[in-house]
Amino acid sequence: MEKHSKKIAVCLIFLVAAACSAKTSRTNQAAGQPASPQAPQPVFVATSGPNPDSLSSAPSPQPAKKGAPAIPPPPTNCGTNFDCYQTYYQDLVKTFGVATAFDQLKKQYPANAYVQAQCHPITHVIGQAAIQIYSSISEAYTHGDSFCWSGYYHGVMEGIVAKVGRNNFPKMLNDFCADIPGKQKYSFDYFNCVHGLGHGVMAYTNDELFDSLKMCDGLNGDWEKTSCYGGVFMENVIIDNRNHFTKYLKPDDLLYPCDAVDAPYKSQCYIMQTSYALKENGGNFAATFDLCTRSDAGFEPTCDQSLGRDASSRNNYNIAGIKATCDLGKTLDEQKNCVIGAVKDIISYNHSDTQAKQFCASLSSDLQDTCSSTATAYYQSF
């Protein structure tokens, strides 16, 4: 059975689309059961690739108008200089539009390892540039593309800070997403908008994480606040992968800032943190499983599920590789929660449950029920 995404609903960078209390979710996770629906959790942004359907459905370039400048090809001399790519894609949006920028990115993606690793942040750049040429967030969204985990939509929200001005941004926080379709049903476009606010408030506070979380608290609705927190923590990790650094990640304390933020913020932090830990420890999953055991009490399952998401993306969605990685968990609960995170990410990546079923069938009998029930419940959320 296959389900292909519709832009306002699914094309995933994050997991799960409805809300519930974090307490209920943690209880189920600790028991090794699939998590209750909650504000979506992020995938590993530093190495995850796009949905393969996105490459095959790349938009055709618009015919150049007579006398119009030729579209410059993707740069080949940027190396690992993110600013170089940023300038190129900003100029593309300004001169040729969003669709052309994505078309060039999709051409560059297959053969450029750095672009693959930084694809999500690059789509942020395209979104930031787009909001400067469109009159509203909803208009910018209609021209968007979900390629590389919907980073475009998050970039739009970052760019809105410059568009409305620093004095107006805090006062308008609850207005930005008001006209996004599907608000009452927590549509994926609405999630991307509210999650994107987390990226936006980080831009507003100059990447001051604790101040940004407090700004998210000004949103109406617990689901909105939690989604915003996720954007803040994702931006904190993205910063560290974008030729910049953040003081809110510490190589000598790989659980920071999760072990320092207040309880309401911890879940969204831990569901992102293993991506940073793996970057710092050279992809050592066994060591990261051990790291998760030192999480704040009750958040160990969340950390293990984050690790499962990374197992999926870092193994390039290879079933045998994901299975072998989750088997590194020393306890059955660690392995189960790794499987939960992995199978959700497999579904998100493929927009299908076919590969997820294959993954579940490959597991030992004591993990198959957890995997299958998680896959069924998660796929239904699409």
| Per-residue model confidence as pLDDT tens digits over 31-41 | 333 333 344 44
Q: Using an 8 Å Cβ cutoff, are 29 and 11 in contact?
A: no
Pairing verdict, β 14-15 and 41-42? antiparallel
Asked whether residue 17 carries a pLDDT value surpassing 50, the answer given is no
pLDDT of residue 56: 37
Name residues whose C-beta falls within 8 Å of residue 27's C-beta, 6 or more positions apart in sequence: none
Residue 231 makes CB contacts below 8 A (sequence gap 6+) with 154, 157, 194, 195, 196, 197, 198, 199, 200, 201, 202, 216
* CA–CA distances in Å: residue 144 to residues 101, 126, 184, 230: 11, 9, 21, 21
User: How confident is the model at residue 351, as a pLDDT?
Assistant: 80
What is the radius of gyration, based on Cα positions, of the chain? 20
Q: What is the pLDDT of residue 67?
A: 64
pLDDT at 373 over 80: yes
Q: Specify the number of domains making up the chain.
A: 1
Instruction: Give the distance from CA 78 to its chain's centroid.
Output: 25
The whole domain housing 149 covers 14-61+80-380
pLDDT tens per residue across span 186-234 = 887 898 899 999 999 998 999 999 999 999 999 999 999 999 999 999 9
Would you say residue 302 lies in a domain? yes
The pLDDT, as a whole number, for residue 244 is 63
> For residue 1, is it within any domain?
no
Q: What would the two tokens of residue 370 be?
A: 């957890």
* pLDDT above 90 as % of the chain: 66
* Residue 146 within a domain: yes
0.85 exceeded by pTM? no
- Structural domain contains residue 3: no
Considering the domain boundaries, does residue 105 fall inside one?
Answer: yes
Question: Is 333 part of a structural domain of the chain?
Answer: yes
Say if 32 falls within a structural domain: yes
Residues 123-172 have pLDDT tens digits of 999 999 999 999 999 899 999 998 887 889 989 999 998 899 999 999 99
In a domain, 71, yes or no: no
